[in-house]
Structure 1
């Protein structure tokens, strides 16, 4: 019966991932319906904490976007990328990493991908190289970003004071090392552009050849009056979240009482509640000080992405949590001894689930409680955390497709066998190095 239920779980996830958008969420709910009414499973607790974190953080990022702050940040990143085009294979990924680390979402990379593609192509550097590792870097930035739902979800699951700062201390440098390794992996990937027959054929087209020979031009961006103010407020919110995680003793104790979403039974505040309060308060401050209307915020692309993310996480994580809770004893008996003897093997399980879920936050919320149930210590769970970034393996994630679409040279592509696409080599190298580095740094710091 376990295998039938597991196959149903995988089928729902696979179908949902192909549907894109809210597909994972609605297929997860269909799976829940079958689990409850056909197999008689008791529903687990829904992932309300992760849903509210996503809602709060992305709504605040959308407010910054509506106020012009995101365009201002992208303009700064563009200046950095264009300033030294010969080293774009290294500069573009690290610029992307820090931008996404600050914003807490990989979706901001869409604005940088056309710039990376143009600069590299006009310098006769194969665009596949910087584009592939830049997309991977955008994803890796989320495992450690104080404003990402995945980092907040792991901190909430670990439930000890200082968890969020430990995640940042270990995962940010580990993922940076992963990005660096991925840059070297991409540095000689594919043929040199002047030797690529596809590129040479495109050069026979007048429009393409005129564009490629037109030189690198700085794009003109109109910065809204309140853009810098919005970025400053967003930065202060990040600082407050980091300080709250690093110094929990500075937070008020509200007296013993019933535990809830924002407070423990002893009266101490949970990081989940702090993140929600701080970020949405920052959103209010941005709207008030920059005179940004709520209607403008709701029309922002990040706000729309937030709605899809909340629905997806709700459905697929609730279904996965219900399956794991129902088969808890069997899973512990079959995996417990192996995982406790070889903790790194749990990273493989997290990596495989991340491929199917297409969401770092959903994978974190689905798999990390299983790690705790198997008896893995926090240092191991933080060490395997970068493995949730495996959504590049199947080339269907929007950031991958966007990179393919903006590359006018055709060098960034999906291979004949699907898995042999442009992102697989730098992505696998970056993830493996990030996980190994996280384990090593965990042993040093924790």
Structure 2
């Protein structure tokens, strides 16, 4: 029955990959139905905490977008990218990394991808180089964001081991950013130069390539800067409160409001303040692109994490028995496990929620923290929204998906980046924990 159940899980994930977007979650729900009513398994835990955190953060981000805050950030990002176009392979991932770090969602990268593609093309740089590492940076930054569901949930798992929220961030932020920058160096040598790319040359001769150097700028909304300031202060409040209630700091003992709930409250307050002081219509928040993407992510997490929890929960004892000796001898294999799991579960938070409790029962916390970045392997299958957006926005054709599915420009940079991040974290984590 184990192989039949595994076939159902993989089948549901494959169907979700074919459906794409929110269909991933729907397919996960179908898999849960087959496993429970069809095969008699007990339903796993629904990742309610993860979904609620994503919802509250996305609500604040969407309010900031409606107020013009995201456009303001993109305007700043464009200035940075155009100021040193020759260094776009380094500047592009820096921009997407920082935006994801602050917002707790990689969907903020959508707005910067067209700028990255345009600046690269204007300067004769192969767009796949900055676009590939920019997308990877937006994914791996989730494991370093103070307000991402993955970080919040994982820090909760680590608390019984005496490892605080700030300890986790102190390891994840420098190691992930360093890995992104080293990978950016490697990306500069991937693929032939743009002037030697046959597909680009064909499109150029056919008149399909356009340069838009003097694009009209949108007028900045009055509340744009204020919305960014409110959102930034709410993130600071989250970090300060989480530090104050940490067992290592102990400024607030027996807090009435736990960390997860505090993040939801602060994010909802931020959304409310932006709505009031920036004078936006709250109904417009429902139509914001970030809100739609975020709610789609919630459904995806609900479906695939519930599916994963149902399967893993039913076999947790067997998994621990089989994996225990192997991980004791080769602890780095946890990173490999998380890599392949996130590739299928399609979410950093869902992978963390499904596998990290079992992982912490098998390995020491340092190994778990060092392997944490491996939950970001969402790039392996070329179906993730930001990855597809990068392909669509590169009219030169340099960012393209090959016929073999896995031969796309995101696979190698993503794998290298995660490997470097895990290696750096294995060095830094023992110094901090």
**TM-score greater than 0.5 by the shorter chain:** yes
Distance 2:118 2:280 in 1: 32
State the match for 1:259 in structure 2.
none
- Counterparts of 2:380 and 2:174 in 1: how far apart (Å)? 23
Offset, 1:348: 0.7
1:197 deviates by 2.3
**Aligned equivalent of 2:170:** 169
CA displacement at 1:76 relative to structure 2: 0.6
Question: Superposition pairs for residues 61-100 of structure 1, below 5 Å?
Answer: 61-100=61-100
Does 2:186 align with 1:189?
no
**Does structure 2 conserve the Cα–Cα contact (< 8 Å) formed by 1:162 and 1:247?**
no
1: CA distance between counterparts of 2:29 and 2:99? 34
Matched-pair contact (CA < 8 Å) for 2:93–2:134: yes
Q: Does residue 312 of the first structure (1) align with residue 264 of the second (2)? A: no
Quote the residue 1:422 is aligned against: 409
Query: 302-311 vs 346-355, which deviates more?
Result: 302-311
Q: Which has the higher mean CA deviation after the structures are superposed, 223-232 or 98-107? A: 98-107
Structure 2 distance, partners of 1:64, 1:221, is: 16
Q: Distance in 1 between matches of 2:297 and 2:207?
A: 42
Q: Conserved in 1, the CA contact under 8 Å of 2:92 and 2:130?
A: yes
| C-alpha contact 1:155 1:271 (8 A) present in aligned 2 | no
The 2-side partners of 1:294 and 1:224 are apart by 16
Give the CA deviation at 1:247. Answer: 2.7
Q: 1:196 to 1:325 in 2, by over 3 A?
A: closer
Which residue of structure 1 aligns with residue 141 of structure 2? 141
Aligned to 1:263: none
Distance 2:229 2:251 in 1: 23
1:401-446 Cα deviation digits (max 9, x unpaired): 1111111111111123111111112111111101111121101111
What is the Cα deviation at residue 313 of structure 1?
1.2
320-329 or 171-180, which moves further after superposition? Answer: 320-329
d(CA) in 2 for partners of 1:324, 1:397: 24
The correspondence for 1:322, drawn from 306, 310, 314, is 310
| Secondary structure in structure 2 of the residue aligned to 1:159 | helix
Residues 54-108 of structure 1: per-residue CA shift (max 9 Å, x gap):
1111111111111111111111111100111011111111122112211211111
- The answer (yes or no) to whether the contact 1:185–1:425 under 8 Å persists in 2 is no
Structure 2: unaligned runs, 5 residues or longer: none
Equivalent positions of 1:37-48 (< 5 A) are 37-48=37-48
Supply the distance in 1 between the matched residues of 2:28 and 2:390 (Cα, whole angstroms). Answer: 28
1:132 aligned onto 2:132: yes
Which residue pairs with 1:223 in the alignment? 220
Q: CA deviation at 1:218?
A: 6.0
Q: Cα RMSD (Å) of the superposition? A: 1.8
1:350 aligns with 2:350: no
Residue 106 (structure 2) pairs with residue 106 (structure 1): yes
- 1:158-196 C-alpha deviation (Å, 9 max, x unpaired): 334663212211111111111112111210111111222
The 1:18/1:157 distance shift into structure 2, 3 A limit, reads farther
Q: In the alignment, what sits opposite 2:372?
A: 385
Q: Does 1:439 align with 2:426?
A: yes
Candidates 370, 377, 385, aligned match of 2:358? 370
State the shift of 1:22 in Å.
2.4
Please give the per-residue CA displacement for 1:213-261, whole angstroms capped at 9, x wherever unaligned.
x6x34651321111111111100111011112223256655xxxxxxxx
2:235 matched to which residue of 1?
238
Show the counterpart of 1:297: 285
Task: Tell me if the contact between 1:130 and 1:186 (Cα under 8 Å) persists in the aligned partners.
Answer: yes
SS of the counterpart of 1:74? helix
The residue number in structure 2 matching 1:31 is 31
Q: Quick one: structure 1 residues 38 and 71, their matched pair in 2 at CA, closer, same or farther if it must change by over 3 Å? A: same
Task: Quote the Cα distance in structure 2 between the aligned partners of 1:251 and 1:39.
Answer: 50
Q: Taking structure 2 as the reference length, what is the TM-score of the superposition?
A: 0.94
SS of residue paired to 2:389: helix
Q: Distance in 2 between matches of 1:125 and 1:166?
A: 39
Residue matched to 1:406:
393
CA distance in structure 2 between the aligned counterparts of 1:21 and 1:132, rounded to whole angstroms: 20
Q: 1:218 to 1:174 in 2, by over 3 A?
A: farther
**Is the Cα–Cα contact under 8 Å of residues 146 and 169 in structure 2 kept in the other structure?**
yes
Q: Give the one of 246, 260, 266 matched to 1:272.
A: 260
Q: 1:118 to 1:34 in 2, by over 3 A?
A: same
Indicate whether 1:156 and 2:156 are aligned: yes
Per the alignment, do residues 356 and 312 of structure 1 end up closer, same or farther by CA in structure 2, a change over 3 Å counting?
A: same
Q: Is the 8 A contact 1:133 1:427 kept in 2?
A: yes
Cα deviation for residue 41 of structure 1 reads: 2.2
In structure 1, runs of 5+ residues without a counterpart are 254-265
> Is the contact made by 1:77 and 1:99 (CA closer than 8 Å) also made in structure 2?
no
